Amino acid sequence: MAIEIRATGRAIPSLRLSNDDLAKTLDTNDEWIRSHTGIRARHIADESTACSDLALEAARQALAMAITKEGKEIQEETLAEAALTLDMIILGTATPDYHGCPSVSCIVQDKLGARNAFAMDITAGCTGFIYGLETAAALLTHAPSRKRALVIGSEILSRFLDWNDRKSCVLFGDGAGAVLLEKTREDPKKRGLLGTILEADGSGAEHIIIRQGGSRHAFKTGDSIKAPPIIEMNGRAVYNFAVKSITETIEKLLAETNLTIDEVHWIIPHQANRRILAAAGKRMGIPEERFFLNLEEYANTSAASIPIALDELNRGGKLQKGDIIMTIGFGAGLTSGGNVIVW
């Protein structure tokens, strides 16, 4: 029995905000941003779009691909029938529609028509998709009746930024990605999810934090001004953590799966900063071209970055049956982890 990725999908807002666009309102420029981050643009959701809207579109794309193989347009009735075959929806996000409840996954479950699926959100920062993939795989494995799961990463980070802070606002974008997992009779050593590493270091919780609005720093009745909650980040601490966690996670995944790095076709990292990935690759002697990067166009989309990259690779014909890929995540919490998948 194997847990395979049968289809992928993504949702990217149409509004593209380039570095040159940002330079019109910030003391920055394209050369500075690209040289420090590798980012050229990011996509921003309009005011009417919420996290669940992007998640729903990515989910629909994944279901359509599972039905048609090519992901072509299909009738709504066919999509509704496919949604009824889902046993669960697991969604990673740090930017939900609502504070605390209801979960984004429940909103997606309703709009998708997946009334036979249970639904839950995972809050693990930029590692949310990796945590979600392992959670869904475990829940599929240990219940004979469960066959299919949607795992989604979705973020509207643009609503949680100080757009006057050039050090942080240039880093992030909005988007969603989804995969359809299915339990099959394939050899688990030859197909599907082969191994996972999940880790956390709560001592670094303050390094990436949305401070306002929670029970620790709640808004109070009668406040005349309610500042929007924004992402605060200790850049140097996050950089050091990320480089260390990437290298350690790769080493642990290789040891757990008894593979060598030369057997891995693609390393798909969380798309945070090109300098972080270059430093980690140099430390391990891994050429940069072994890492799949799309942050130049999408910037950091947190829990959505890895499934967006998976879908881009998949639809671009760059993943073949039997390819071994490795996902690597790191982010708020602090959390880190990775998966080894045989495509």
pLDDT in tens, the chain (343 residues): 899 999 999 999 999 999 999 999 998 999 999 999 999 999 999 999 999 999 999 999 999 999 886 556 677 778 889 999 999 999 999 999 998 899 999 999 999 999 999 999 999 999 999 999 999 999 999 999 999 999 999 999 999 999 998 889 999 999 999 999 999 988 777 889 999 999 999 999 999 999 888 888 887 776 655 567 899 999 999 999 999 999 999 999 999 999 999 999 999 999 999 999 999 999 999 998 899 999 999 999 999 999 999 999 999 999 999 999 999 999 999 999 999 999 9
- Measured CA to CA, the distance from residue 189 to residue 193 in angstroms comes to 9
49, two tokens: 């779009």
Active site annotation includes 240: no
The domain segmentation of the chain, as residue ranges, is 2-184, 192-342
**How many CB atoms are closer than 10 A to CB 281?**
21
Active site annotation includes 142: no
Catalytic hit among 19, 273, 300, 339: 300
Active site annotation includes 106: no
Catalytic hit among 43, 51, 270, 339: 270
Counted residue by residue, the chain has a size of 343
- Measured CA to CA, the distance from residue 216 to residue 116 in angstroms comes to 36
Q: Tell me which CATH code domain 192-342 carries.
A: 3.40.47.10
- Measured CA to CA, the distance from residue 41 to residue 34 in angstroms comes to 9
66, two tokens: 């599972």
Q: Do 314 and 304 contact (CB within 8 A), yes or no?
A: no
Strand bridging mode 231-233 / 118-122: unpaired
* pTM metric for this prediction: 0.95
15, two tokens: 């509004």
* CATH 3.40.640.10 is held by the domain 2-184: no
Domains 2-184 and 192-342 belong to one CATH topology? yes
Burial category of 63 from C-beta neighbours within 10 Å (exposed 0-12, middle 13-18, buried 19 and up): buried
Catalytic hit among 19, 51, 106, 126: 126
